[in-house]
Chains A and B, each alone.
Chain A
Amino acid sequence: MAIIKLPECKVNQLKEICKSFNHDSGELINVLHKAQEVFGYLPAEVQEIVAKELNVSVAHVYGVVSFYSFFTMTPKGRFPISICMGTACYVRGAEKVLDEFRRELGVKVGESTPDGRYSLACLRCVGACGLAPVVMVGEKVYGRVAPEDVKGILAEYSNL
């Protein structure tokens, strides 16, 4: 795997975060949340710094990062697309919507398009079951999405 050079200012920011939690290893999950806010994802290099700062092994950090679905080790697209696969959305046809996104974008779930514009993910329940099936692009929620709507949703972002 290629080594990523992290920008120095962000590394310092990360160290500050660890300091603000008193380098307490019990705060690992909170530190990782903040780190993901800063970097957008948690590559190996970030995990190494966190491990050093909190005085735990890199394996321990990796174990936690890989355990929780909220943490990601690959960068998300500029417009992250999430399809809700909660039960309510599933029975109202979320899978067909997901298939359509896969076909339109030519990527699998968890991948980004080569130009880094879109990434595709599934999530479990946004809590807007009245609008099922639900799709999120970034923070924006689209309700009652049918496979026919997919092209239109993507078109909103194609020139941004």
Chain B
Amino acid sequence: MTQIKMHLLVCGGTGCRSSHSEGVSQALNESLTNHGLDAEAKVVTTGCFGFCEKGPIVKVIPDNTFYVQVTPDDAEEIVKEHVLKGRKVQRLLYLDPEREKTVSDDRHMTFYKKQIRIALRNCGFIDPENIDEYIARDGYMALAKCLSEYTPQQVIDIIKKSGLRGRGGGGFPTGLKWEITARVQADQKYVICNADEGDPGAFMDRSILEGDPHSVIEAMAINGYCTGASRGLVYIRAEYPLAIKRLQIAIEQARTYGLLGENIFGTGFHFDIQLRYGAGAFVCGEETALIHSMEGKRGEPTFKPPFPSEHGYMGKPSNVNNVETYANIPVIILKGPAWFASIGTEKSKGTKVFALAGKVNNVGLIEVPMGITLREVIFEIGGGIKAGKEFKAVQTGGPSGGCLTARHLDTPIDYDNLLAAGSMMGSGGMIVMDQDDCMVSIAKFYLEFTVEESCGKCSPCRIGNKRLHEILEKICKGEGTMEDLEKLKNLSQVIKDTSLCGLGQTSPNPVLSTLENFWDEYVEHVVDKKCRAGVCKSLMKYTIDAEACVGCTACARACPVNAISGERKQPHTINPSICIKCGACMEKCKFNAVLLQ
């Protein structure tokens, strides 16, 4: 047996693949072969490391060297210098912007320092397409322990004691959910994994499935043992081809190893998993809608109760949990509920994965203990606001959440605090905004999404959100009145109170939270007809500063609608009634004479 001395981990997550990490793996492999080092070093394609901003990432084990923004052309140098001679390639190391020093070990990077990786424990460490690597990291140990040492009720008690709450958004206690499904008597029960991550800007579920699919499979089997279900179903978005592929491979491997199928570990427990594909509908993240979609119907929600725990897929009791929730389960079983409960706040235990994105320096996937503050996340892990601009807001919870401001920065993040602040945990999208973002437009953006994604079954959501969107459009065009702002508030409340499912009950949150936190900005749009961020085109006017203009005619030639007139070498003027506000003149002007007000 050959001894591999060094592993080169290459990120194979969607983010890094989009910046051609596959080419990096290939080039590394070729270079290793050329130098005759195949037997000593091995290239492993892993799941997401999380630090997507600096992708593609290559990590060298055992010395933990973390290379960023690696291109296929860099492969030769990494092999020749690092693998062969043991010298780190300085120019590919991460440069700490604050201390202006390179950091070679990811454990010393501010991006990772405050993170605790439980759900993401194997992401960026193992090859997700190789079950042996998962097993080497105590994989399937938790399942074995449950089947051989615990009764189903004992396992449920462990989960209850850990304080784990649903990571899909609602935050329902997971152990309690399992217990309810377990108590219902039925000839057939189902374990369902909700992998329909529809929240735009959130990609944690996909990263877990791409980076560590076995952890979800193992947890679903444990759930099956607890609830008495022999069949598991994963409802996954068809838009996630890589996650689907890796999950299929993982299921096949688990079957081959006898970890799925008949008589698992010789205990007489049967469990198998099948995939069901979503087809692009945000509302299908809602349990009842998801179940209808799995049955081949339109994904429309139905009234609860009855809850899926009693009456779910094909009318049978079904336990629905989210990907990230499942990924926590095996660790809780192995390390014990007390360990898990020691992390986090009083009512929210453990960690949460967030997709940190937007106007922040370090975009990526992070896992932090509950109770960390937004300030720590945005300014330490996130490295602050891009281009040194000013922080304005952070949106959490996606289209169901709200925008929080600077005064919330020191609030510890947990389910209850976020709700109290007018937002929610949601699935974990976290979008940072700066001074250039118009909050009225952001509210409009989310409503546009909701209008498109509303299933149309109940009228408050179908019609109400459409009206909200129209009013917001009116305000952005500069045609809003103060009365409209009142209407927004009232209508939002009605939609929240009367909608059938979670989508409608939360869809006005972006409007309500921006009204609450950015009232001045709404008033400016309505009364002063101004958009301070310069986003709402109708409220802006392009003019030419006669003193700065040299009459070069560049703007007039760039204007697509001939709105600019003036003689050569004379100051030009813009006719506002023709101007379509495309900004082409401003881009072309070399003298900064075109102004935007």
A-side interface residues toward B, CB under 8 Å?
A: 24-30, 32-33, 63-64, 67-71, 85-88, 90-92, 123-132, 134, 141, 143
Contact = CB atoms under 8 A, between A and B. Distances in A.
Interface string B414-444: 0000000000000001010100010000100
Contacts of A92: 358-359
B170 interface: no
B279 A69 contact: yes
Contacts of B238: 33, 70
A25 to B, nearest CB: 6
A29 to B, nearest CB: 5
A90 to B, nearest CB: 6
Nearest to A136: B18
Interface of B: 14-15, 18-19, 52-55, 198-203, 206-207, 238-240, 276-282, 293, 295-299, 314, 355, 357-359, 363-364, 395, 398, 429, 431, 433, 437, 442, 445-446, 449, 452, 455
A128 B431 contact: no
A124 B200 contact: yes
A67 B298 contact: yes
A156 B395 CA distance: 36
A125 B295 contact: no
Nearest to A64: B298
Contacts of A124: 198, 200, 282, 449
A68 B235 CA distance: 14
B382 to A, nearest CB: 12
Contact of B355 (A68, A85, A129, A141): A129
Nearest to A141: B18
Given A24-B296, A30-B276, A123-B239, 15 more contacts: A27-B296, A28-B297, A33-B279, A70-B238, A71-B280, A87-B357, A88-B201, A88-B357, A90-B445, A124-B198, A124-B449, A125-B201, A127-B15, A127-B207, A130-B364
B279 A71 contact: yes
A29 B296 contact: yes
Which secondary structure dominates chain B's binding surface? mixed
Contacts of B207: 127
Given A63-B298, A125-B203, A130-B364, A70 B15 contact: no
A71 B14 CA distance: 23
Contacts of A125: 199-203
A70 B277 CA distance: 11
Contact of A130 (B52, B277, B280, B431): B52
Contacts of B455: 67
Contacts of A30: 276-277, 296
Nearest to B52: A130
Nearest to A63: B298
28 contacts: A27-B296, A29-B277, A30-B277, A67-B299, A67-B455, A68-B278, A68-B279, A68-B280, A69-B452, A70-B280, A87-B201, A87-B357, A87-B445, A91-B433, A124-B282, A125-B200, A127-B207, A128-B19, A129-B15, A129-B52, A129-B201, A129-B355, A129-B357, A130-B54, A131-B52, A132-B357, A141-B19, A143-B19
Nearest to A129: B357
B295 A26 contact: yes
A69 to B, nearest CB: 4
A17 to B, nearest CB: 14
B199 to A, nearest CB: 8
A24 to B, nearest CB: 8
A33, A87, A127, A129: most-surrounded residue (chain B CB, <10 A): A127
